[in-house]
């Protein structure tokens, strides 16, 4: 039976939450495979709005949720999110949520170092959320991370904290920031252990059994391809790989299990934080897109920068991300605009390019090459079939397909779950 992997095809905040929620109703298991609580998915279900950061979106639909080993977990943030979502009426228990026992933990020292380094960068800050995601991934690669399984071994925690604090306190002192005491961190972790460990297990084993039983698995990505630590607009990126290939490594399953890859993109483009954004609008149209689209970060609350759809950027995401079908969201935000622009390439120091370069200076110098297309006057909001769309809206979607070299297989026309046009079922074999 087919599985589906969902990833962002721009800089995140593309509306993945709604699409994951829509597909989760047809899945058996939903898996988070990378990122941390710097990610945010907003789900609108009737008159209830759920804001999730670490919890897999399928929990809202009563599906089994798995947090894979590729995720870095702040245990305090996770427990707070569980309590908050429970207060909204959802049942979250060890029967509905499982956590990879080999997933790394984010500690208070990670967040402190994240904020201290960002402050030290001054004007060159990269716009992190300050939640410790990057330093936690650094510890994982440097083999000094404390993992979920370590919470069951007080002696292991003791010596691992010695090694971890030797590194981090030295950095914090050098940055003029307060350092941390091992005894306090150890006591806090041991106090958290009884609440976290009941959820822990070898996720890879459960997924292997699920495949054997032909269960439908939905892999839920966070952030987006252009924030990938290898393929994004480095250094203004996240600290993990966000492409579809990471679903296998970040969940403990073979690459053949990733299934069909669905990329999510807005019908325009947004970005939170610093970094290059060639098609960004600094005028009334950009402000209008932000107001209509309610463009504020789910996690940070920061206003998103808005601009025209960048087809060259999404085409790049399609190629490196392994995207086989595109879900286009927020088409209704463009209703009534007399003319629309699509970025089809860049001009960098007089040279034309179809993709963003890797170098930071060249990325910053990239000027968009636009193609103009006529807008539409009638509304697309709430449309559930192509027959309900204005002809110019269909033309706009078709042109995007041509430019990104990937079919649009799903179209979202409002935040409501059922206001969706499906051209191809991602779960079909």
Residue 187 is inside which H or E element, if any?
A: helix 182-196
Strands 260-266 and 4-8: parallel
Range 356-359 contact pairs with CB under 8 angstroms and sequence separation of 24 or more: 356/233, 356/276, 356/278, 356/312, 356/313, 356/316, 358/234
Residue 290 CB neighbours (<10 A)? 19
DSSP 8-state symbol, 231: T
The count of C-alpha atoms lying within 13 angstroms of the C-alpha of 21, restricted to the half-sphere facing its C-beta, is: 23
Neighbouring C-alpha atoms within 13 Å toward the C-beta of 336: 8
Please list the active-site residues: 13, 41
- Rounded Cα–Cα distance for residues 134 and 120 (Å): 15
Q: Which 8-state DSSP code applies to residue 58?
A: G
**Closest to 10 measured CA to CA, from 352, 280, 334, 239:** 280
For residues 21 and 14, give the distance between their C-alpha atoms in angstroms, rounded to a whole number.
Answer: 14
Tokens of 145: 């991370």
Pick the closest to residue 38 from 289, 298, 381, 394 (CA basis). 298
Cα–Cα distance for residue pair 370/308, rounded to 1 Å: 9
State the number of CA atoms in the 13 A half-sphere of 247 facing the CB: 31
């Amino acid at each position: 039976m087919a599985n589906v992997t969902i990833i962002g095809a721009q800089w995140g905040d593309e509306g993945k939450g709604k699409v994951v929620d829509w597909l989760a109703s047809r899945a058996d298991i939903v898996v988070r495979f990378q990122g941390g609580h710097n990610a945010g998915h907003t789900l609108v279900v009737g008159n209830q709005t759920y804001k999730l950061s670490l919890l897999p979106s399928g929990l809202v639909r009563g599906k089994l949720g798995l947090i894979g080993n590729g995720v870095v977990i702040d245990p305090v943030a996770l427990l707070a999110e569980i309590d908050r979502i429970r207060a909204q009426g959802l049942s979250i228990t060890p029967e509905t949520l499982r956590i990879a026992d080999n997933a790394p933990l984010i500690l208070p020292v990670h967040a402190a170092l994240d904020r201290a380094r960002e402050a030290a960068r001054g004007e060159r800050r990269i716009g992190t959320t300050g939640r410790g995601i990057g330093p936690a991934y650094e510890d994982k690669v440097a083999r000094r991370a404390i993992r979920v399984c370590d919470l069951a071994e007080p002696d292991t925690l003791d010596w691992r904290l010695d090694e971890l604090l030797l590194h981090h306190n030295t950095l914090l002192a050098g940055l003029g920031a307060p350092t941390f005491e091992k005894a306090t961190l150890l006591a806090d972790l041991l106090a958290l252990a009884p609440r976290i460990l009941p959820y822990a297990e070898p996720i890879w084993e459960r997924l292997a059994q699920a495949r054997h039983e032909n269960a439908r698995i939905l892999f839920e990505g966070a952030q987006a391809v252009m924030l990938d630590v290898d393929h994004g607009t480095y250094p203004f990126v996240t600290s993990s790989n966000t492409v579809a290939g990471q679903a296998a490594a970040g969940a403990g399953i073979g690459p053949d299990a990733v299934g069909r890859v669905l990329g999510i993109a807005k019908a325009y483009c947004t970005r939170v934080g610093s970094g290059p954004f060639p098609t960004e609008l600094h005028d009334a149209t950009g402000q209008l897109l932000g107001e209509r689209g309610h463009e504020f970060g789910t996690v940070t609350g920061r206003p998103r920068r808005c601009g025209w759809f960048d087809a060259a950027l999404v085409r790049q995401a399609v190629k490196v991300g392994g995207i086989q079908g595109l879900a286009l969201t927020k088409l209704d935000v463009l209703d009534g605009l007399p003319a629309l622009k699509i970025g089809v390439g860049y001009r960098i120091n007089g040279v034309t390019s179809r993709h963003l370069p890797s170098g930071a200076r060249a990325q910053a110098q990239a000027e968009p090459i636009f193609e103009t297309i006529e807008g539409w006057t009638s509304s697309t909001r709430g449309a559930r079939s192509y027959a309900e769309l204005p002809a110019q809206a269909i033309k706009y979607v078709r042109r995007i397909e041509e430019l990104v070299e990937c079919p649009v297989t799903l179209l979202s026309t409002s935040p409501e779950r059922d206001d969706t046009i499906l051209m191809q079922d991602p779960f079909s074999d």
